[in-house]
Structures are given as C-alpha cells and as structure tokens.
Amino acid sequence: MIPQEQSSTAVAAGPASTAVRLLEVRSVSVMFGTFMALDDVSVNLDGGRALGLVGPNGSGKTTLINVVTGLVAAKRGKVLFDREDVSGRAPHRLAHLGINRTFQIPKPFTGLTVRQNVEVAARYGKGRRSVEEILALTRLDRVGSRSSEELTAAEQKKLDLARALSTAPRLLCVDELGAGLSVSELDEVALMLRDVSERWGIALLVVEHLMGFLERVTEDVVVLNAGQVIFEGSLVDALRQPNVIQVFLGG
Amino acid sequence: MLLEFALIGGVLTGMYYGFLAVGLNLVFGVLRFVNLAHGSVVVLGSYLTWELSNTWHLNPLLAGLIAFPPSLVLGAVIFYAVTPRLSRSADPEMLSLILFFGIAQAIEAITTIVFTSNRRALPGSTLGASSVSILGQRYPFYWVLGAAIAVPVFGAIYIYLYRTRLGLATRAVMSSPDDAASVGIDVKRVSAICLGVGLFLAASAGSLSIFIRGGTDPAQGIAVTTFAFTVIVIGGLGNPISSIAGGVVLGCAYNLAQAYAPSWSGVIPYGLLLAVMLIRPSGLFGSQVRVA
Amino acid sequence: MLRDDETLVGEIPGTASKDRVTQLFRNRSFVGDAAVALVLIGVFAFGRSFEANTLLLVNLMVYMILAQGINVSYGFTGYLPFGFVGFFGAGAYGMAVSTSKFHVGAYPGLVAGVVVSVVVALILSPLLRLRGSYFAIASLAAAEALVLLVSNPSAQGITNGAYGANLSSVFNPGASYVSTVVALGLVTAAVVWLKHSPFGLALRAIKADRSSAAMSGINVVRVRTFAWVISAAMAGLGGACYAWVISVFYPGDVFSLTTSVFAIIFALFGGIGTVVGPIVGTVVLYGIYNAIGITVPQYFQLIYGLLIVVIVLFVPRGLASLGASVFGRMSR
C-alpha cells in the first residue's frame, strides 16, 4: 500500500480531471441549546464517489446529514452543492437539486401502498425515473401493492432507499441503513447501494456502525468524535490510528 | 382606582384560575393528552355544589371534598378501560383527544338528564360573607375565598410532587414513561391515580366556579376546558405548579379588559392562547418545549 | 467487484402487465367514487319531490359539505380543527354582509362567502405549525375569538353585531336549494379528485411523515396550506349556501361549536380518507339526530358521546373500513 499523505480537506476526492467537487461542507457548527453537536466540521465529496461517516453515538454523524439535507440549520458555516451555496434551503428544494437521504428509522408513508410511496417521491421529487424500475431495483416489485406499514423492517429500509432513489439524487446520504438487518440482507443492500451509485453516478455519504457494511460501499472515511473531525482518510488507515481506536474502544 | 381594582382582582381570581386548571396540567404532564372532559367535570362539580347547598342545606364547599372517592374511581375506570386499546392505535394522541371529547359529551348529557339544562346559580351570601375590603376597595368574598383555597391546594400539590414517593414516581413518569418503567415504577398505576386526582381537582374547582363564573349550565364544559387550557399554556404545559402563574396572568389580563374594554374581555382568553402558542409555545414560565 | 448488473437492470418480466392491472384497479375505485358523487347529486336534485322538508335536505347537504371539509383537513392532512365552524360562520357572514350591506347579488354573495373564509384560513395558517391537540384547541380558540369579533358591538356597523343577519333582499328558496346541491357536487368532486390525484397522495405523505415528505420533494408548507384553504373554502361555501337558505340568523347559529362537533363525528363515524365515509356518516347520524335529537337533544348527545368512545376504541377508521374489510372478504 502506498503511504497516504494526510490531507486537511477532501478525502473522497479523485483527480480533478475525472471528478467534480459535488459537496463541500465548510466549517459547519451546530448548537442544540448549549450542546455543541457539530464543531467546525468540513467535509468534501466528489461526484460519484462514496464517503463513510463513522464515530461513536452522539458524535454528530446524523446531525451532519441533517444539515446537508436541510432538516437542521447550521449556526455557522456553509454547505456548497455543485459550487452553489445551499445553506438554509428547505429540504424539498434540496431534493429537487439532487440531494436526498434515507432515515435511520425509516418512516414510510403509512396508509399508502409501496408503489404509491415511490410514486409520490418520483412525481414531487422531479426525478423522472420509472417507478417500476426503482421497485425492481430495490426488489420491492413483488410487494408493490401492499400497504407500507405491513412491510418487514428490512423492506421498509429498502422502501426508504427506493423513495430517495426515485428523486434521482446526485448525492445520497445513507443513515445506518445496515442497522438491524440480517447478514444476507446486509449483503443485498450493500450491493444495491454500490450498484446504483455506479450506474447513476450517485455520490454516497454513508453513516454506518457496521464496518463490514461500510467497507463494501466505500474505502474512504471521516471519523467524527464529539462533533469534531478527528480523522480523514482510508478506512484501513483509520483503524490504525491510535486516537480513532481510542474513541471506538475506550470511549 | 380602576387599575388597582383590576390588578388585585386579577391576582385573586387568577390564583383560582390556576386551581381550576391545575388538574388539566397534571393529566397532560403524566398522560400526555389534553383531557377535554376537564370542563365537563368542573360543571358536574358545580351542580353537585348546588344540590348540596339547595337540597341538603350543607356548606357548598363540602362538595369539593366528597368528590374525591368517586373521582379516583372514575379516573381508574376510564384509564384501565381505554388506554390499552388507545396505546396500540396508530395515532394515540389525536384519538385520546377525540375520545375524551366523547366522554365530555357523555358527561354533559348525563348532567343535563339528571339536573336539566337550566342554569343554576348560588348567591354569594351562601358562603357567609358577601364582600371583603382590601386597601379601601371591596371585592366579592368568593374571589378572596378562591385565592385562599388555591394557596393550600398548590401547597398540597407541591408536597405531593416533591415530598412523597408517589410524587417522585409521578415526576419520573412525567419526564419519561419508559425510563420510569425501567426503574420499576408502575407507570399504569401512577397514570390512573393522576387521572383520578386530575378529575378530583376539576370537580372541587367546580364548587367555587358556580360563584366565580356567576352560575353554571351543562353547555359550559368546553368553554371551561378552553379557558383552563389557556391557563396551562401560559404557565407552561406539563408543569402543574406553574399553572398558578398562568392563572394570575390570565386573571389580570381579563380583569384589565373588563375594566377598560369590557366588550372585548371575552376575546382575552382565546386571543392570549393563540398568541402564546404561536410566539412562545413553551409558555411564559416554562423552560422546555414539549411537542405533543 | 460487483458485476451482476444483469439481474438488476433489464426488463423485469411481468412489470408492464402488472402496471396495467394496477391502473385498471385504480380506475375501478375512481369510477366507484365518481358514481357515489353522481348518485348523491341525483338524490338531492330530485330530493324535494319525495321529501317535503326542504330544511332537512339542506341540513343533510350542509353537514355532508362540512364533514368532507373535515375529511380534507383531518383525513388527508392530519389536522383536526375543532373550530372548523369558524369557516362556516365566516362564509355565512361573507354572504350576508356582501348582499345586505354591499347589495351584491346572491351568486357574487356566495363567492364572497368563500373568499372571506379563505382569507380567514390564510390569516390562521400559522396555526398549521402546531401539531396534534395543540392545533385542534388553537383552532377552537380562533373560532371562538371570531364569533366574539363578529357579534361585538364595535362590529355592529358591518355585521349587525348580536342582532344577527338578514338576507331577505336575496331570498329565493328555489335557487338557494339548487345552489346547495351544486355546492355539494363541487365539494364531493373535489374530494374524489384529492383521493385519486398525486396531490392527494402528497397530502397523505405529509400526514404520515413530514421529513420523509419533504425529502420526497414535497413543499410541505405550501401543500398543507393549500389543503387547509380548500377545506376552509368548502366550509365557507356551505356556510354561504346555508345563510342563503335560512335567510335570517344570529351569530350563535352559524358559529355553534355543535356544528363543528357534528361534522367531526359524522366524518369519523363514516370513515375519513374516503369519499363515501363522510356521506354515509352524515346520513346515518344526522338521521338519528333528526329522529330523536331534536326533541330530546340530551339523549342524542349521550348516544353520540358514547358512540365517539366506541368509534375511537373499536373502529378508528370508521364504517368505511368495516365495509371495505367485509367487501374484501366477500370478494376473495
């Protein structure tokens, strides 16, 4: 392995000639009351690449995704998407720009069928993707006419992914998609993510506790602890860093 | 001195308004829903008071005490009959609201069937004195009595919440039912008791309400609930003790409007409720926002 | 690393035909709802030839309109307005004031009623930030504040205050009846559209989860405000028609909390989120009310009070859900 020079900025950034900077989180801070959830965090991601976000509970991973997808407003700092400042924009406008996400606890539209769940997002998300294609891709076609609350936990996660994909995102934030899945489901979902990312050139920002899942989707990670970035680089290197190990084992 | 009269009167009646509303706040804090039957129980308490005074020639305030056992039983019956099914439903909060609205309607109907829909009132002299002089102005005796009863009521609620084991359990359930259950607190029992105590506080507030509101009729229920809800929203939802502060704010606002713009005084509770909800949903004295 | 695209891409056999079946099924449900609307209009259009009590027919239609308004607000969007009657009263007063003070004709008066209720809805739209019971009670407070405003002595120059409204200048039993039928037709058609349109899906998505709805690209604030305005316009239209039919009324008649309560109960009993539910709920419960409620209202109140408890505990999705499950079992 070639020793990597630790860069202070981009991690999942390929050579400038092949990839374009898609997401740039610039010195973002978020406060909840007196609690500093994110403290001067910067993350960069190029189009079509994947980046893992790891760290112990409460380190700010989900908050960072919430900021990127417009559900939480940053106190300081900026979010640039496609070199455009999108800080403070409403979530639906970000969805139209091509930013989407899945939720840690998926909240499908209860009372709607699986197909209607996807239809709503396909229509309002302006993704112009075929509902049937998305359903087939996420292997939900067989349960398409079922009510979404009847799905298993794994199927609900896939439905959340299907909903996000049908808006045709260029950046997909994935919040603990693997949690609670069986080993075979994990394999299936990781493969699915990898596949859609490559096929449609979707950049992925993946929050995940399960290293096995993460390493199938991306090689690059940012490690957060107590709202701060403590490491950025490859997953393999991260696991060799004493401070990272301490956070995971000692914290 | 119109201003002085309005403010002193506002504080006196406001302390009573706190008493009128505190049961609603206790139930909201513990069970996390708005008991829309609160006002109907207040009205029921008023009718009980009228019967005691007119038919049995007893002290009307006795009604406030004898309501205790039936309230606890009613609270337990309602709680154990409805909550198991409600908690399994898709939208427990809204369904509880609608359900207690149905209970309110049933109580109102029963009140009408038993006592007819005629308005009932008791002269202030039933309570002994008719007025009291404070700083050179005379105030209705029942205003002073309302405030004088509200103080020990809030004292008792404070002692219950902060000096007893059951009160500790109650506060634990208020802050998190799951955490309370995990340390061995019988959440259901605490909730059932609190619903009963909430109903009792409503019924006993009713024995003064017949004087302070100048009479009672079965259809008043929902207006009383809205009024009490305004008090607890101003004071802070889920914090029973702060209800007295909410009551005093509403009492002063209402009395000031009565003094300077009487035709608009009726709008005060509703206007204040909307304003607080939109501008400061945690209440004027609450610190935490609870999104129910 | 992963090169089994073949299984993930490509034509999935059977997709196209399945899609067609879905389409057909959806059409069948749409056709059913549209038929319900047409039958309803037919019944009321010819209603006066088999029912002499016109006011009963009008009350039924007005409650159907209000129950559908509740359906749009609560059934589709998840907001339960206890003070829904505020829009009804606003519509009634919009009609009354425009025809008696500004001397416009009856039809512009109906439009004015709708406009007034829509304006009230827009003024109250910040309430949509509140959730659940907060919203329900806040809307009640708003309606109570509104009636005090209308009946206030200071407003007497416009609304005639507590002395009530008089529309005798436009009194026309025939035209007001027909207008109410048309209003019911419009309202029912709007609900059929909502149930079968992407907009209706968006509303139900917001009801289920706001964050997921927003991430699906739905402008949550705009969509829910629009639904709120539609719902208010329905109540306003109902109020304006009602005002025209009864011609003379007092503030308490058109701002009565009982009206809200009836509309909510009728909608819940029949089944929210459906077209037929609020209609059936109104026919059954208003029928019972008409039989026993007017002479001994307290017994009716007891019955519907207990009925609410039973609905909430045992059939939270109303009669329509019972009907659907029975029908589903039979057709299987």
Would you give per-residue pLDDT tens digits along chain A (251 residues)?
444 444 444 445 544 445 689 999 999 999 988 888 999 999 999 999 999 999 888 889 999 999 999 999 999 999 999 999 999 999 999 999 999 999 999 989 988 999 999 999 999 998 888 999 999 999 999 999 899 989 998 899 999 999 999 999 999 999 988 888 888 888 889 999 999 999 999 999 999 888 888 888 888 999 999 899 999 999 888 888 888 888 876 54
Q: Which residues on chain C are in Cβ contact (under 8 Å) with B93?
A: 132-133
pLDDT grade for C330, boundaries at 50, 70 and 90: low
Q: Is residue B68 part of a domain?
A: yes
State chain C's mean pLDDT as an integer.
87
CB of B130 closer than 8 Å to CB of B139? no
Q: Which residues on chain A are in Cβ contact (under 8 Å) with C207?
A: 111
Which residues face A51 on adjacent strands?
A205
Q: Is residue B288 part of a domain?
A: no
Q: What is the pLDDT of residue C24?
A: 45
Q: Is residue B39 part of a domain?
A: yes
Domain of B101 in residue numbering reads as 2-279
Q: Mean pLDDT across the stretch C203-231?
A: 95
CB of B134 closer than 8 Å to CB of B128? no
Instruction: Provide CB contacts within 8 A for A194, sequence distance 6+.
Output: A216, A217, C1, C2
* Beta-carbon separation of B93 and C133 below 8 A: yes
Give the range with max mean pLDDT: A101-110, B184-193, B283-292, C109-118: C109-118
Distance CA C41, CA B251 (A): 51
Is the Cα torsion angle B135, B137, B142, B143 positive or negative in sign?
negative
Q: Into how many domains does chain B fold?
A: 1
Question: Among A111, A126, A194, whose Cβ lies nearest the Cβ of C217?
Answer: A126
Q: What is the pLDDT of residue C117?
A: 98
Question: Among C4, C198, C215, whose Cβ lies nearest the Cβ of A100?
Answer: C215
CATH number of this structure's domain A21-98+169-250, picked from the four choices 3.40.50.11290, 3.40.50.12780, 3.40.50.300, 3.30.420.40: 3.40.50.300
Region of poorest pLDDT, from B212-226, C18-32, C177-191, C261-275: C18-32
Q: Into how many domains does chain C fold?
A: 1
Q: What residues of chain B, 29 to 68, have a C-beta less than 8 Å from chain C?
A: 33-34
User: Which of A62, A72, A92 to mutate to test binding with chain C, by most C CBs within 10 Å of its CB?
Assistant: A92
Question: Among C80, C138, C304, whose Cβ lies nearest the Cβ of B94?
Answer: C80
How far is C60 from chain A, CA to nearest CA, in Å?
A: 29
User: Which of C146, C301, C311 to mutate to test binding with chain B, by most B CBs within 10 Å of its CB?
Assistant: C301
CA A97 to chain centre: 16
Minimal-distance CA residue of chain C relative to B104: C305
Neighbours of chain A (3+ CB pairs under 8 A): C
pLDDT grade for C318, boundaries at 50, 70 and 90: confident
Task: Tell me what ipTM this predicted complex has.
Answer: 0.88
CA B154 to chain centre: 12
Nearest to B74 by CA among B46, B110, B113, B41: B41
Q: Is residue B111 part of a domain?
A: yes
Q: Write down how long chain A is.
A: 251
HSE value, Cβ hemisphere, 13 Å, CA-based, for B116: 5
Q: What is the pLDDT of residues C91-149, one digit of tens each?
A: 999 999 999 999 999 999 999 999 999 999 999 999 999 888 889 999 999 999 999 99
Q: Which residues on chain B are in Cβ contact (under 8 Å) with C144?
A: 223, 226, 270
Q: H-type helices in A44-178, by residue range? A: 61-68, 91-97, 114-124, 131-137, 153-165
CB of B273 closer than 8 Å to CB of C138? yes
Q: H-type helices in chain A, by residue range? A: 61-68, 91-97, 114-124, 131-137, 153-165, 183-200, 211-217, 235-238, 242-245
Q: Is residue C41 part of a domain?
A: yes
Nearest to B283 by CA among B79, B25, B1: B25
Q: Is C235 on the interface with B (CB under 8 A)?
A: no
Q: What is the pLDDT of residue B39?
A: 95
Secondary structure of chain B in HEC code, one letter for each residue: CHHHHHHHHHHHHHHHHHHHHHHHHHHHHHHCCCCCCHHHHHHHHHHHHHHHHHCCCCCHHHHHHHCHHHHHHHHHHHHHHHHHHHHCCCCHHHHHHHHHHHHHHHHHHHHHHHHCCCCECCCHHHHCCCEEEECCEEEEHHHHHHHHHHHHHHHHHHHHHHHCHHHHHHHHHHHCHHHHHHCCCCHHHHHHHHHHHHHHHHHHHHHHHHHHCCCECHHHHHHHHHHHHHHHHHHCCCCHHHHHHHHHHHHHHHHHHHHHCHHHCCHHHHHHHHHHHHHCCCCCCCCCCCCC
Q: Is B77 on the interface with C (CB under 8 A)?
A: no
Domain of C105 in residue numbering reads as 30-256
User: Which of B118, B226, B227 to mutate to test binding with chain C, by most C CBs within 10 Å of its CB?
Assistant: B226
Q: Mean pLDDT across the stretch C274-296?
A: 88
Q: Which residues on chain C are in Cβ contact (under 8 Å) with B27?
A: none
β-strands A50-54, A220-225 pairing: parallel
Distance CA C146, CA C166 (A): 19
* Beta-carbon separation of C218 and A92 below 8 A: yes
Q: What is the pLDDT of residue C58?
A: 96
* Beta-carbon separation of A112 and C201 below 8 A: yes
Token couple for A198: 């490559």
Minimal-distance CA residue of chain A relative to C205: A109
Q: Domain ranges for chain A, please list them.
A: 21-98+169-250, 110-168
Task: Give, in degrees to the nearest 5, the angle at Cα C70 between C65 and C71.
Answer: 90
Q: How far is CA A147 from CA A112, B94, C199, C279, in A?
A: 6, 22, 19, 25
Backbone angles phi, psi at C225, to 5 degrees: -65, -40
CB of A30 closer than 8 Å to CB of A74? yes
Q: What is the pLDDT of residue A18?
A: 55
Q: Is residue B289 part of a domain?
A: no
* Beta-carbon separation of C302 and B106 below 8 A: yes
* Beta-carbon separation of C306 and B277 below 8 A: no
Q: Is C306 on the interface with B (CB under 8 A)?
A: yes
What letter does residue C12 receive in the DSSP assignment?
P
Q: What is the pLDDT of residue C23?
A: 57
Distance CA A193, CA A164 (A): 12
User: Which of A109, A115, A139, A161 to mutate to test binding with chain C, by most C CBs within 10 Å of its CB?
Assistant: A109
Q: Mean pLDDT across the stretch C273-299?
A: 88
* Beta-carbon separation of A90 and C219 below 8 A: yes
How far is B2 from chain C, CA to nearest CA, in Å?
A: 23
β-strands C248-249, C165-166 pairing: antiparallel
Q: Which residues on chain A are in Cβ contact (under 8 Å) with C273?
A: 111
Q: What is the pLDDT of residue B198?
A: 95
Question: Among C148, C257, C301, whose Cβ lies nearest the Cβ of B222?
Answer: C257
User: Which of C82, C134, C317 to mutate to test binding with chain B, by most B CBs within 10 Å of its CB?
Assistant: C134
Region of poorest pLDDT, from B166-170, C18-22, C183-187, C315-319: C18-22
Compare A247 and C215 and report the one with higher pLDDT.
C215
Distance CA B50, CA B57 (A): 9
Q: What is the pLDDT of residue A210?
A: 83
Q: What is the pLDDT of residue A6?
A: 42
Neighbours of chain B (3+ CB pairs under 8 A): C
HSE value, Cβ hemisphere, 13 Å, CA-based, for B63: 31
Question: Among B33, B109, B273, whose Cβ lies nearest the Cβ of C301?
Answer: B109
Task: Give, in degrees to the nearest 5, the angle at Cα A61 between A57 and A66.
Answer: 125
Token couple for A218: 């991306």
Q: Write down how long chain B is.
A: 292
Instruction: Provide CB contacts within 8 A for C217, sequence distance 6+.
Output: A92, A95, A96, A121, A124, A125, A126, A127, A167
Q: What is the pLDDT of residue A68?
A: 96
CB of C320 closer than 8 Å to CB of C270? yes
Q: What is the pLDDT of residues B62-74, one digit of tens each?
A: 888 888 999 999 9
Instruction: Provide CB contacts within 8 A for B137, sequence distance 6+.
Output: B1, B4, B5, B8
Residue A136, judged by CB atoms within 10 A of its CB (0-12, 13-18, 19+), counts as: buried
Minimal-distance CA residue of chain C relative to A92: C217
Q: Is residue A23 helix, strand or coil?
A: strand
Q: Mean pLDDT across the stretch C248-264?
A: 92
Q: What is the pLDDT of residue C11?
A: 31
* Beta-carbon separation of A92 and C219 below 8 A: yes
Compare C10 and C240 and report the one with higher pLDDT.
C240
* Beta-carbon separation of B105 and C257 below 8 A: no
Task: Give, in degrees to the nearest 5, the angle at Cα B156 between B153 and B157.
Answer: 90
Q: How far is CA A75 from CA A30, A31, A79, C273, in A?
A: 5, 7, 12, 40
The CATH number for B79's domain is 1.10.3470
Q: Is residue C239 helix, strand or coil?
A: helix
Buried b / exposed e across B169-187, counting CB within 10 Å, b at 16+? Answer: bbbbbbeebeebeeeebeb
Q: Is C162 on the interface with B (CB under 8 A)?
A: no
How far is C274 from chain A, CA to nearest CA, in Å?
A: 12
* Beta-carbon separation of A90 and C211 below 8 A: no
Neighbours of chain C (3+ CB pairs under 8 A): A, B
Instruction: Provide CB contacts within 8 A for A159, sequence distance 6+.
Output: A106, A108, A114, A117, A118, A138, A140, A148, A151
Q: Is residue C230 part of a domain?
A: yes
CB of C311 closer than 8 Å to CB of C318? yes
Distance CA A215, CA B207 (A): 70
Minimal-distance CA residue of chain B relative to C147: B267
User: Which of C125, C309, C314 to mutate to test binding with chain B, by most B CBs within 10 Å of its CB?
Assistant: C309
